[in-house]
Every structure is written in C-alpha cells, then in structure tokens.
Structure 1
Amino acid sequence: MTSALFTPITLRTTTFRNRLWVPAMCQYSAENYDGMPGPWHLVHLGSFARGGAGAIVTEATAVVPEGRISPQDLGLWNDAQRDAFRPIIDFVHTQGAKIGVQLAHAGRKASTPRTWEPQNGTLSEDEHGWPIVGPSAIAFDGYDTPRALSTDEVDGVVEAFVRGAVRSQQAGFDFVELHAAHGYLMHQFLSPLSNERTDRFGGSLENRARIVLDAVRGIRAATGPDFPILVRFSGTDWVEGGWDEHETATVAAWAVEAGADLFDISSGGIAASAVIPVGPGYQVPLAASVRSDADVPTGAVGLILTPQQAEEIVESGQSDVVFVGREFLRDPHFALRAAFELGDDLDYYPQQYHRAPFHAAPVAL
C-alpha cells in the first residue's frame, strides 16, 4: 500500500518523495560567530535525509548579520557561507531528499543568548551582541527597545532576502522558506501589536504585509519560474487584537499571486503574554483553516508525534505536508519507522543499514 503521507508531492518542477518534512530548528552552532555551517550541521541535517525525510529545512538563516537570533546563528549574507552549505546539500541529495533554507531576520528578537544559556534579554556588544531594529520602537518583553527601520531600510531588508534566495539557489538548495512567524521581523510587520508605522509598511493589512509580498515577488523574479518559495506564518498571535488566521489566509492568497507555493503554519511568538493551548497537533487547525479559506497548499506543524497522527492529518486534507520536529530530533529515522508502521515498503532504505531493517527479523551475522 501507499499511505497519503508517503505519496510524492510536486511544487512547480520539484517533486518531493514524501510529505513528512523536517522544519527549521535552530542549532546555534556557528561557534565562530561568522554564520558559517560546519560539521555539526552536516551530520544534523544529513541524518534526516538518511532517515527518509521528504524535505529538510535548515534552521533560521540570517540574511544580514544583525538579523541573527543569536551570535551563533547561520547566515547567508556572503558567498563564503553559500559555498560552505554545498557539501551539506550534496550529501542530502545523495540520500534522495530535498533541502531548503529558511531565510530570516529576527528584528527586535535578535542578539539574544542561545536557548540553553541564561536568558538575560538582548546581548551587549561585549557579549557579541549588537543594536536591534524593528518596524516600530516597541520592545519585546524583557528585550531592548528596537530602533525603528526607515522606509529605505525596509526596502534594503527585502533586497537582502532576495540576495539570500539567489545565493541559496546558487548553492544548490531546492527551495527557500521565508520566516514570517514566531515574532521575528516579518511577523513584527504583519502584527498590529508590533507595527505602528504610518508609511507604506504600516496601517492597513496590505501595507503590513508588504514586506513579505515584496520579498516573494523579488525572489520569484530573481530565481525564475521553477524555484519553490515557502512562507512560514504564525497563524495567530493568540492575543486579542493581534494577527489571526483570517489575516493569515488573506495574505497567503496574496502571496500565491506574488509567486509563493506553500505555507508552513505555526503560531505565536509576538507576545510573551500569549496563552497558547499547547498539546498534540494544537496548530493543525490553523493550517487546515488557511488551506480551506485561501485555497492554498499548507504544511502543519506542532507536536505531531506519531506516524498515525501525521497520516491522518494529510489523508483527511487538513494539510498537504506535515513538519515534524521533536520526533526527528529523538529519532532521525522517524520517516523510515513511520513507513514501516503505516505499511509502506520504501525503496530508499539505506543499503548500509540492511542488517537492521524495520520490516523484518534481524539478519544473522
């Protein structure tokens, strides 16, 4: 049999072998503060490809140095970083998976410690930090107040996203994902809770969405008609008066017209006070709502923990793909195990592991 989860999906001219994808998960492991991927990233990302994932998205990768979440984040603002990604991409491709880069700018949530380090707000320059920026001079709780970007500087950020996408295509990535979620810069523009601008990037929904739409249009023009563009949205701020799933659906429909192809629907991140009903599959209804209301392809993410749960999400039409994070961290071969549990006989099980198949008794030595 072939389950819905292991049915291929095509975006533009790129076909993905299945619909079980690995989302961006920050590793904070560019230890020289230079945005360069290294051996950790090769093993980390490569293990998911070996383990049967259909697609893998790199962690948030900054388009400018001041766009990093932490000083140890990856970057794609220069050609040396582009070239350092190539061995990782090449290995992923040898395993039959696709790989994309999540292009990001953290805005007012930049220049922070790694998540396992003491959380003391915005880092100082002595701590390898830098001054932060945002759409408006409104601080995230516990962080420094950002400097509001000028209109010309916002245009410059859009250009940086386009340059990052061009470098990603040159490096061999199969697609890009724009990070417009989790309270980072693009989301800060989208949400009225963090955007009080009065220029063409503030006020109306169309203006607040302009940075995302301009970036999509620019990337589509620069990379051509065949390069898939994903956008990660927070489907809701979980705060009254904030960004919600109806605005997400509206902007997603506009983004398709601008050249985007699929929307990865997460939630939250704009307000520390948000009360989020975390539980298995808690964000899946947001992906389903956006998919239905905007008639666009979506990906569901958020505590998707079992093969059966992932299969039901895709088979029932709640989303077109599922992004599974924690289970892939616990078991990089989660996709191979899922196929076994769902009764799929894959032809991309690593030959080097033939003595330990999921689908048969152990082979005698």
Structure 2
Amino acid sequence: MSINNTATEKLFQSFTAGGLTLKNRTVMAPMTRTFSPNYVPNSDVAKYYRRRAEGNVGLIITEGTFISHKAANGYERVPAIYGEEALAGWKHVVDEVHAAGGKIAPQLWHVGSVRKEGIGPDKTIPAYSPSGLYKPGAANGVAMSQADIDEVVASFAQAAADSKAIGFDAIEVHGAHGYLVDQFFWEGTNQRSDKYGGSLENRARFAVEIVQAIRLAVGEDFPIIFRFSQWKQQDYNAKLCQTPEELATFLSLLSNAGVDVFHASTRRFWLPEFEGSELNLAGWTKKLTNKPVITVGSVGLDSDFTSEESADLGGTSNPTGIEGLLTRLNNDEFDLVAIGRALLVDPEWVNKIQHNKDDEIAQFNKDALMTLS
C-alpha cells in the first residue's frame, strides 16, 4: 500500500497556531494507559512518550491526566496533574520529549459521573456531575452545586498554569466522550434548571468558564486545545448538534472564550457529519470557526473500536492506507491529523509513512496494550 510522496507532502509541512509551532501536521492522540503507579508518571512513561517524539510525531497529546478536584479521577494508575510528585514526573516526561525534538501537551481531565466510588486517591468520594446522571435515566453520584462548579473551574485553571510552569508546550481540555465537561454539553446528562442547563448556550457555559479561567491563568500566548465529540461512551449515536447552525453556535462560544485549536473526535474520520456534505466533524469545525482543527478517528487502521472494546481500545486492526485522509488534508478540510492506536503499537508510524515504508507498519491488537513500548 505505497503512498505517493506528493500526497504526503503537506502532512510533513510545519504548522503554527496559537503560539505553537510544529515540525509537521501529525499528532499523537491521547490514550489512557494506566501505567502510572500512585498516579505519578514514572520513567517508563517518559520513555514511552520520548519514543513517539523520536518517531517524528509533531505534537504529543498525553493520556488524560486528572485535575485536583476530589472527584476528578475515574481509574486507577492514571496520572494526576497536581501535587509535587506527579508534577515532577511530568517535568521528566516533558524534558525527555523536548530532548528528542518533540512538542507535548497534557490532556486535562475530569471524568464526572463515569467515576465509581472505590477509585482513588480518596476512595470515599462519589462521582460529581451536572445532574447526578451517568446517562439518561441512570443516576450515579451527586449533582454539582455552584461551589462545586467554581472549584472544578479553578482546578482546571491551576492544572493549566502548572503545566505551563513545568514546560509543556500547550494544554488540551478534555471536553469529549461523555466525561464531565461533555456531560454539561449533553442534554441527556444535563437536566439542570439554572444558568448551566437548558439551552445549548447555557449547557456550554461550564466549558466557557473553564477556557476563560485557563486563559487568565496562562496568558494570551499559551495554546489552548479543546477536544469535543458528538458521540459519548454512554451512547455512540448521541449528538450535541443536529445541524451545522447548532454546531456554529456551540463552537463560537468556545472560540470566543479563548480556544486556539479544536480537536474534533470521531470514531471514523471518513464519515460525513451532516447530510448534504462530505465534510467530517473536523471539516465543519474549520469551516465554521476558521481556526486550526485536528481530525482523529481510526487513522491508519482498517476498523474502529466497538462499544464492547472502547474502554481498553481493544480488538485487532490491520494497517490500512491513508489516501482518503491525505486527500482531505490536501483539500484543507482540516490542519492536523491525530493518530491513536496505530501510533500506540508502532512508535515509528510517522517515519514509516514519510519514508514510504508503510508496508512495515505493525498490526494493532490487544497485546499492544499490556506494555509501554
């Protein structure tokens, strides 16, 4: 499955956005690995990210790293982004990536009602979410008060400030996939009757406040990436926005708040988002905002993950061509391309694509998830 070098030329052009300059258009997508004992990224985690930087990835976005709010975490052995030990661990990660010539951003994360009691650091804390719902009709945890909301907003801002202080090149807010920020967006989990519920503008208010607080904390020149999705882990068919007009309203709120780059998460990058156009979600996002956009969704693989496998990125997928992706990129449908499972199993994926060695790319399977490689 050889790729014409002319087709890949744009993928390997440099790119600048929001004060962030990248050597090419490739991005490592965030993927939870659960290899951080006591919530601290260790030397193995640093080596894992450095290998992708050595493999010529333009920007690495880390696995979700949970902020300091007491209910932010939902999984054991995922990394925190607060506290002296965890921040020192991340500083080592950043230094290793920079030493290899890479750029790196942490994904700032609060899981909301996905959390279950018994998960640390404080195992007694219940889940917190807009309305105490995990999905429509399914309760879990408690509904957030205004004080809770303010505390979470402040925790995101502090995480961003700490990230900048230890040398990260940007930050990404995780506003997708049915976690806390997305639970405010989604009518199915946001049944509030105050200023955070009801209209799309109100449901976006929490995210807007987070972005505004981060902007104040990091200054004007530090890049803010925002990841969003239509689909939820609770419902793959869910949609925040049914029409381009609704999407325009949604995106304008975040853009005006201070987002520099949008990361439009889909399960399959090649599927059109709305009837009557071949544009995917990233394409529509760029068209409506004129801001840089990252596309993502089973890049370089012949199948996406299924509902049964989504929690661990499991299953087996074979390498496949990216000609359709390159056509979209060359048509300026989006600006950057995030690679997930394909890059997880093969740290040299980017180099192999650039040097026409795509027939050497490794197959993805569950075994790849068992080690940091």
C-alpha contact (below 8 Å) 2:286/2:334 kept by paired residues: yes
**Structure 1 vs Structure 2: percent identity of aligned residues?**
30
What is the CA distance between 1:319 and its match in structure 2? 1.0
C-alpha contact (below 8 Å) 1:174/1:228 kept by paired residues: yes
1:14 is aligned to 2:20: yes
SS of residue paired to 2:133: coil
- Distance of aligned partners of 1:125 and 1:178 in 2 relative to their CA distance in 1, 3 Å threshold: closer
1:97-154 superposed Cα distances (whole Å, 9 cap, x missing partner): 110000010000124xxxxxxxxxx657899574111100223489761200001211
- Distance of aligned partners of 1:4 and 1:108 in 2 relative to their CA distance in 1, 3 Å threshold: same
For 2:304, the equivalent position in structure 1 comes to none
For 2:3, the equivalent position in structure 1 comes to none
What is the CA distance between 1:184 and its match in structure 2? 0.2
Distance across 2 between alignment mates of 1:265 and 1:331: 23
For 1:156, the equivalent position in structure 2 comes to 151
C-alpha contact (below 8 Å) 2:270/2:325 kept by paired residues: no
Distance across 2 between alignment mates of 1:142 and 1:195: 11
- Distance of aligned partners of 1:127 and 1:82 in 2 relative to their CA distance in 1, 3 Å threshold: closer
- Distance of aligned partners of 1:37 and 1:145 in 2 relative to their CA distance in 1, 3 Å threshold: same
Distance across 1 between alignment mates of 2:243 and 2:35: 33
What is the CA distance between 1:94 and its match in structure 2? 1.5
Amino acid at match of 2:333: Q
- Map residues 1-365 of structure 1 onto 2, 5 A cutoff: 3-32=9-38, 35-64=39-68, 65-111=70-116, 123=118, 128=123, 130-140=125-135, 145-236=140-231, 239=237, 242-244=240-242, 246=244, 247-267=246-266, 279=268, 281-282=270-271, 285-305=280-300, 306-341=321-356
C-alpha contact (below 8 Å) 2:255/2:289 kept by paired residues: no
Give me the CA root mean square deviation.
2.6
C-alpha contact (below 8 Å) 1:63/1:103 kept by paired residues: yes
1:330-353 superposed Cα distances (whole Å, 9 cap, x missing partner): 21011111111299xxxxxxxxxx
1:8-35 superposed Cα distances (whole Å, 9 cap, x missing partner): 1111222111111101100112222xx2
What's the TM-score once normalised by structure 2's chain length?
0.79
Aligned residues: 321
What is the CA distance between 1:253 and its match in structure 2? 2.0
Distance across 1 between alignment mates of 2:269 and 2:255: 29
1:10-61 superposed Cα distances (whole Å, 9 cap, x missing partner): 11222111111101100112222xx211123112211110100000011111
- Distance of aligned partners of 1:291 and 1:342 in 2 relative to their CA distance in 1, 3 Å threshold: farther
Distance across 1 between alignment mates of 2:330 and 2:191: 41
- Distance of aligned partners of 1:125 and 1:11 in 2 relative to their CA distance in 1, 3 Å threshold: closer
- Distance of aligned partners of 1:249 and 1:96 in 2 relative to their CA distance in 1, 3 Å threshold: farther
C-alpha contact (below 8 Å) 1:67/1:107 kept by paired residues: yes
What is the CA distance between 1:240 and its match in structure 2? 6.2
Distance across 2 between alignment mates of 1:124 and 1:173: 28
- Distance of aligned partners of 1:229 and 1:125 in 2 relative to their CA distance in 1, 3 Å threshold: closer
Distance across 1 between alignment mates of 2:326 and 2:124: 43
SS of residue paired to 2:174: strand
Distance across 1 between alignment mates of 2:339 and 2:213: 29
What's the TM-score once normalised by structure 1's chain length?
0.81
Distance across 2 between alignment mates of 1:231 and 1:69: 20
SS of residue paired to 2:159: helix
C-alpha contact (below 8 Å) 1:102/1:178 kept by paired residues: yes
* Stretch deviating more after TM superposition (185-194 or 196-205): 196-205
C-alpha contact (below 8 Å) 2:185/2:240 kept by paired residues: no
* Stretch deviating more after TM superposition (154-163 or 37-46): 37-46
Structure 2 gap segments, 5+ residues each = 1-5, 273-278, 301-320, 359-373
C-alpha contact (below 8 Å) 2:64/2:174 kept by paired residues: yes
For 1:358, the equivalent position in structure 2 comes to none
